[in-house]
């Protein structure tokens, strides 16, 4: 099949149709050299003047190993010193707080919750100096942290001898493991999924399905002043930090029971990773939807779940987990995932791996 035809499949997330083609491995590798300047250099090195991507795909004299060797020669990995420099800067981060900006929805959040709800000019001025400033600050700092920590983690993957990197930024492919293309996704255990899974246990033990309501009730019992200017997530974290500092037996017992309830959820998904993979695919952001093969790295601090973000800069822990996972990687025993995408009512099929990094 021609390169342009395979690209149509690629753009429409029909990866299993691509995999049925005899030249699918070569096609995926070509994606790594498909940017204009890189492809021009590739053709020059192999004396392929005037060649198109279709021509290279069709040419039996250019094989997969030629592409792999070219990629390895041209890829410029970061040095240990460069990795250490990134780690040093990331270690300066003390708090991971979106500042009420709702993650990547900063503009939408400001428009819907401030601009459209505020008529007064003076109130808008106050918001600019207060809530909007905090949102922009939190969004910028957290995005910076996510960007550079993700680069560092990808470099750890690329350093492994079984991994073939991509030369340029390639949509839907970050690297290959034993010829299988993967898009790397580094995330935390989904808070929405945790809320769903612990609701009944919270109701049984503390009388409410909401973790925040349980915390508020306990705070009132312990006569702890409850801040009124925090969003729900920040307030939950705040109250639990206060409970952890308390010497009251009720606070200690609550935190221990809450930890045990969450441990049961973590243990379940550690033993059933495919279910978590499906959840992550089905609950991905609509604007960034795709059904590419994904390698998920899920970070979990089982003692302090809200501090799982710190694991994203823990180089030694990351290296140990990533290298162990790749060493045991078996391309003949991949997770074949079928997931339903509610927006178009279609079921997609993909290969995916999941690595838990936890402490």
pLDDT value of residue 358? 92
Strand order of the sheet with strand 163-170? 163-170, 173-177, 180-188, 294-300, 346-358, 335-341
Contacts of 285 (CB under 8 A, 6+ apart): 104
Contacts of 216 (CB under 8 A, 6+ apart): 226, 235, 239
Give the C-alpha distances (Å, rounded to integers) separating 316 from 103, 189, 199, 344: 27, 20, 35, 42
pLDDT band at 86 (very low <50, low <70, confident <90, very high): very high
pLDDT band at 101 (very low <50, low <70, confident <90, very high): low
Measured CA to CA, the distance from residue 26 to residue 54 in angstroms comes to: 11
pLDDT band at 138 (very low <50, low <70, confident <90, very high): confident
Tell me the percentage of the chain whose pLDDT exceeds 70: 98
The arithmetic mean of pLDDT across residues 328-341, rounded, is 93
Answer yes or no: is pLDDT of 105 > 80. no
The arithmetic mean of pLDDT across residues 292-305, rounded, is 95
pLDDT value of residue 100? 63
pLDDT band at 130 (very low <50, low <70, confident <90, very high): confident
Rg of the chain over all Cα atoms, to the nearest angstrom:
24
8 A C-beta contact, residue 231 and residue 98? no
Measured CA to CA, the distance from residue 301 to residue 153 in angstroms comes to: 17
Answer yes or no: is pLDDT of 340 > 60. yes
Answer yes or no: is pLDDT of 238 > 60. yes
The arithmetic mean of pLDDT across residues 236-254, rounded, is 95
Q: What is the dihedral of CA 202, 204, 208, 209, to 10 degrees?
A: 50
pLDDT digits (tens, 9 = 90+) for 150-179: 999 999 999 999 999 999 899 999 999 988
Tokens of 80: 């240990």
Residues linked to residue 357 through DSSP beta bridges, in sequence order: 299
Measured CA to CA, the distance from residue 55 to residue 62 in angstroms comes to: 10
8 A C-beta contact, residue 291 and residue 350? yes
Between helices 191-206 and 211-221, what is the axis angle to 10°?
A: 50
pLDDT digits (tens, 9 = 90+) for 52-68: 999 999 999 999 999 99
Q: Give the distance from CA 265 to its chain's centroid.
A: 20
Answer yes or no: is pLDDT of 102 > 60. no
Beta-strand relationship, 346-358 and 294-300: parallel
Answer yes or no: is pLDDT of 113 > 90. no
The CA angle 262-355-329, to the nearest 5 degrees, is 150
pLDDT band at 79 (very low <50, low <70, confident <90, very high): very high
The arithmetic mean of pLDDT across residues 190-213, rounded, is 96
pLDDT value of residue 322? 97
Entry pTM:
0.90
Domain map (residue ranges) of the chain: 3-74, 80-145, 161-191+273-358, 193-266
Average pLDDT, the chain: 93
**285 or 31, higher pLDDT:** 31
pLDDT band at 134 (very low <50, low <70, confident <90, very high): confident
pLDDT value of residue 258? 97
The arithmetic mean of pLDDT across residues 118-133, rounded, is 87
Count of other CB atoms within 10 angstroms of residue 42: 23
pLDDT value of residue 104? 58
pLDDT value of residue 103? 55
């Amino acid at each position: 099949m021609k390169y342009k035809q395979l690209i149509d499949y690629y753009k429409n997330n029909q990866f299993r149709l691509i995999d049925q083609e005899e030249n699918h491995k070569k096609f995926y590798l070509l994606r790594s050299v498909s940017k204009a300047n890189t492809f021009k250099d590739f053709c020059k090195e192999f004396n392929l003047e005037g060649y198109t991507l279709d021509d290279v795909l069709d040419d039996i004299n250019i094989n997969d190993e030629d592409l792999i060797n070219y990629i390895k020669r041209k890829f410029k990995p970061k040095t240990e010193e460069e990795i250490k420099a990134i780690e040093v800067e990331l270690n300066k981060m003390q708090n991971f707080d979106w500042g009420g900006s709702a993650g990547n929805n900063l503009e939408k959040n400001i428009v819907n919750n401030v601009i459209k709800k505020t008529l007064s000019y003076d109130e808008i001025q106050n918001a600019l100096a207060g809530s909007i400033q905090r949102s922009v600050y939190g969004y910028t700092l957290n995005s910076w942290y996510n960007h550079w920590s993700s680069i560092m983690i990808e470099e750890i993957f690329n350093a492994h001898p079984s991994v073939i990197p991509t030369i340029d930024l390639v949509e839907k492919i970050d690297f290959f493991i034993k010829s299988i293309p993967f898009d790397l996704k580094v995330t935390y255990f989904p808070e929405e999924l945790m809320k769903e899974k612990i609701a009944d246990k919270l109701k049984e033990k503390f009388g409410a399905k909401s973790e925040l309501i349980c915390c508020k009730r306990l705070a009132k019992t312990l006569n702890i002043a409850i801040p009124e200017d925090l969003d729900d997530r920040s307030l939950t974290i705040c109250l639990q930090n206060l409970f952890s500092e308390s010497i009251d037996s009720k606070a200690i017992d609550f935190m221990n029971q809450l930890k045990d309830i969450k441990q049961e959820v973590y243990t379940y998904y550690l033993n059933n990773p495919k279910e978590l993979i499906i959840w992550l695919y089905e609950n991905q952001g609509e604007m960034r939807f795709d059904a590419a093969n994904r390698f998920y790295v899920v970070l979990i601090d089982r003692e302090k779940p809200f501090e799982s973000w710190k694991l994203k800069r823990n180089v030694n822990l990351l290296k140990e987990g990533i290298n162990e996972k790749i060493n045991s990687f078996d391309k003949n025993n991949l997770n074949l995932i079928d997931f339903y995408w509610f927006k178009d009512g279609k079921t997609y099929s993909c290969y995916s791996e999941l690595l838990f990094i936890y402490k």
